[in-house]
Structure 1
Amino acid sequence: MMSKRQDVISQHNDSKSQYNKQILNSAFGREGQNHAMFDKISFNNARQALLKQLKQDHKATKKLSDDIYNSDVGLIEEAQYMVSESIRQFKCNKPLQEAVFTLNNSKFWYLNFVYNFLQKCVDMDRVHFCNMDTESMYLSIVGSQIEGYKQGLKYVISDQRFCDLHYKEWLPWNDCTVAEEKKLMGITTESQGENIVCLAPKCYSLYNGNEQSDDIVSLVNRMKGVREKKAILTTNDYVKCLSDGCNINVTTNNLQMKMGVTSMINMEKSALTCIHKKIFVLANGCCAPFMYGINADHYLIDSNLHSDLAQLKPSISQSK
């Protein structure tokens, strides 16, 4: 499948390229992280939800809507509840060990690239990790202020000999083929910009311009749990969420079929939020991992290093 995607990219066929990309990405998530395989979700009225809550398989219940009455105080539509239950059996087309290995192997190569390449040939005092995910990272690079933001690691190399020797093992180069750019276990640049606002993994806004002068040009907006096309959000929403500590809610529409009748349910979701339940967010915006017996007060912030980096304008690079 990887070779097929490389072929269609060479042919500049964007539709087939996205199709093959979705197949590759879903090969792991469909089997290993698809909660629909391990949960049974049902929509019920109050009586049905109460009965299912008494079962041992019950996990959670969420109220979706209230009772609707007409002018004569007659019940038009009952309140709806979403009930999650644990299923006793499920079918998996691939071994779960394969999905677990894929997840852990990606983390291994992630660290391998950071410690065996970046740390050895790049001046890490001029590189800041803005955000990291399973197989992607977002770097703020303090390079040349004269050249544009599409400069990559060119001006932060500390060991040019080591970089020239191992560069092609990890990163693409000029005039390389699609197969060389999309090689397995390799790194490629997906997008670049002048600024980035990172709220959480897979929740960020990459943009050019200055938010103080309202000349922002949004390049990439990503959020978790909400489709970007349905949630019309701008970079200013990300900046507002980060600076004011507020939530940005959007309304999503979902179709539901019950008793042969299809209805549309409007649900309000928090597309952007300043709450993070997976890692500590420190006072300077850096993220630190959870550790047993360690809280946010135990982390020390080097204010001198932070002020030195703030004086330089970085370029943002997303690698994947």
Structure 2
Amino acid sequence: MVLIDYCNFIIDDIDSIALFDKHLGFESFACTMMAKRQDAISQHNDTKSLYYKQILNSAFGGEGQNNAKFDKISFNNARQASLKQLKLDHKSTRKITDTINNSDGEVVEEAQYMVCESPRQFKCNKPLQEAVFTLDNSKFWYLNFVNNFLYKCIDMDRVHFCNMDTDSMYLAITGSQIEGYKQGLKYVIKDQGFYDEHYKESLPCGDNCTVAEEKKLMGITTESQVENIVCLAPKCYSLYNRNEQIDDIVSLVNRMKGVSQRCWLSEGSEKKANLTANDYIKCLNSSVAISVTTNNLQMKTGVMSMISMEKSALTGFHNKMVVLSNGC
């Protein structure tokens, strides 16, 4: 019904029908945690705000994982491992430590085996449909905002989509050349009447709105406004301003999923360094790949080791997107 009401879809044929009961079990939890986060933001308490944000995020991730079907790994001695290998659930066994004897030949520590079991049957008590629906529903309202608001009242010839993610979008706007860059959509509105009538459904109500209004559920707010953005790929972008007096770039936000922002330089320097906006620009204009070396701790056969791994932080290659035959 949503697609019919909002997108004027026409049903030509019905293959099957599924009925769902309305479930509001998480509504009070989400609203309460969000209200507490809004209060923390109003009090400028960044620690408490982050705390409630992490609760919401971890709750969604935890309830969306069907960990009942995950492989179960246990550490056992030889006798316990032998018994578990007789079960139908047994998947693999790996010896990780040898038996340790003292000078008299007595066993001090038995050999340890890592046994992996994969359950043949399991019962899922997690509300997986909640997580799936939340993701699908967010995509719908995302597209609803773009198609039924932006394209109807904004001059999209003066707006360019730079980067889009699950819950965010980055727009390059050609507005007024006189006013500064913090002008939002003010100078690209083509239907002021439609904008005034519908903007409160998604956007905050003016500059003096409350935190609750700005951070409302299913709403959209402006996170930051800058002069320039370089987007190499989804989750890989740099926001920066240019200081024309000294002809320098002021990096504001640098994002690179999978690589820590504070990493070791690939040239072997022991000083920590951040990726800068110049690195993104160099990669875009000169096709230069920026590499970094990351350090991770790993445990193997009871020994903790530090593993240094060189990663390509910024490249001109993007393989995280599926492109259909029609170019979409």
Q: TM-score of the superposition, structure 2-length normalised?
A: 0.66
Q: Tell me, in whole angstroms, the C-alpha distance in 2 between the residues paired with 1:24 and 1:215.
A: 39
Residue 225 of structure 1 deviates from its aligned partner by: 0.7
User: Are 1:148 and 2:180 an aligned pair?
Assistant: yes
Q: Secondary structure at the match of 2:167?
A: coil
Deviation string, structure 1 residues 144-194 (Cα, Å, up to 9, x no partner): 011111000000011111111111111112211111111111000111111
User: Are 1:223 and 2:251 an aligned pair?
Assistant: no
Query: Structure 1 residues 110 and 236, CA, compared in 2 at 3 Å: closer, same or farther?
Result: same
AA paired with 1:226?
V
Q: After TM superposition, list the pairs within 5 Å mapping 1:1-20 onto structure 2.
A: 1-20=33-52
2:217 to 166, 184, 196: 184
Deviation string, structure 1 residues 87-138 (Cα, Å, up to 9, x no partner): 5588977322222212111111100111111111111110000010011000
Q: Tell me, in whole angstroms, the C-alpha distance in 2 between the residues paired with 1:97 and 1:11.
A: 35
Residue 32 of structure 1 deviates from its aligned partner by: 4.1
1:136 to 168, 174, 180: 168
Give ranges in structure 2 of 5+ residues lacking alignment.
1-32, 74-89, 93-115, 264-272
Q: Secondary structure at the match of 1:146?
A: coil
Residue 19 of structure 1 deviates from its aligned partner by: 1.9
Which protein, 1 or 2, shows the higher relative CO under an 8 Å CA cutoff with sep ≥ 6?
Answer: 1
Give ranges in structure 1 of 5+ residues lacking alignment.
42-55, 59-84, 280-288, 300-320
2:274 to 232, 235, 245: 232
Q: Secondary structure at the match of 1:189?
A: coil
1:127 to 142, 159, 174: 159
RMSD: 3.1
Q: TM-score of the superposition, structure 1-length normalised?
A: 0.68
Deviation string, structure 1 residues 43-98 (Cα, Å, up to 9, x no partner): xxxxxxxxxxxxx979xxxxxxxxxxxxxxxxxxxxxxxxxx99558897732222
The match for 1:203 is 236
The match for 1:258 is 300
Give percent identity, aligned residues only.
75
Q: Secondary structure at the match of 1:262?
A: strand
Q: Tell me, in whole angstroms, the C-alpha distance in 2 between the residues paired with 1:247 and 1:86.
A: 42
Q: After TM superposition, list the pairs within 5 Å mapping 1:235-250 onto structure 2.
A: 235-250=277-292
Residue 244 of structure 1 deviates from its aligned partner by: 2.3
Residue 40 of structure 1 deviates from its aligned partner by: 8.7
Q: Tell me, in whole angstroms, the C-alpha distance in 1 between the residues paired with 2:130 and 2:280.
A: 36
AA paired with 2:161?
F
Q: Tell me, in whole angstroms, the C-alpha distance in 1 between the residues paired with 2:117 and 2:292.
A: 29
Contact 1:278 1:290 in 2 (8 A): no
Residue 215 of structure 1 deviates from its aligned partner by: 1.2
The structure having more radius of gyration, on CA atoms, is 2
Q: Tell me, in whole angstroms, the C-alpha distance in 1 between the residues paired with 2:295 and 2:124.
A: 30
AA paired with 2:165?
D
AA paired with 1:106?
S
Q: Tell me, in whole angstroms, the C-alpha distance in 1 between the residues paired with 2:128 and 2:180.
A: 45
Runs of 4+ in 1 over 6 A off after TM superposition: 89-93
Q: After TM superposition, list the pairs within 5 Å mapping 1:39-54 onto structure 2.
A: none
Q: After TM superposition, list the pairs within 5 Å mapping 1:86-105 onto structure 2.
A: 88=119, 94-105=126-137
Q: Tell me, in whole angstroms, the C-alpha distance in 2 between the residues paired with 1:220 and 1:91.
A: 44
Residue 260 of structure 1 deviates from its aligned partner by: 4.0
1:170 to 199, 202, 210: 202
Q: Secondary structure at the match of 2:38?
A: helix
The match for 2:56 is 24
Query: Structure 1 residues 91 and 127, CA, compared in 2 at 3 Å: closer, same or farther?
Result: farther
Contact 1:208 1:218 in 2 (8 A): yes
Q: Tell me, in whole angstroms, the C-alpha distance in 2 between the residues paired with 1:27 and 1:141.
A: 36
Residue correspondences, number: 244
Query: Structure 1 residues 202 and 33, CA, compared in 2 at 3 Å: closer, same or farther?
Result: farther
Residue 272 of structure 1 deviates from its aligned partner by: 1.5
The match for 2:147 is 115
Deviation string, structure 1 residues 190-221 (Cα, Å, up to 9, x no partner): 1111110001111100011179x851111110
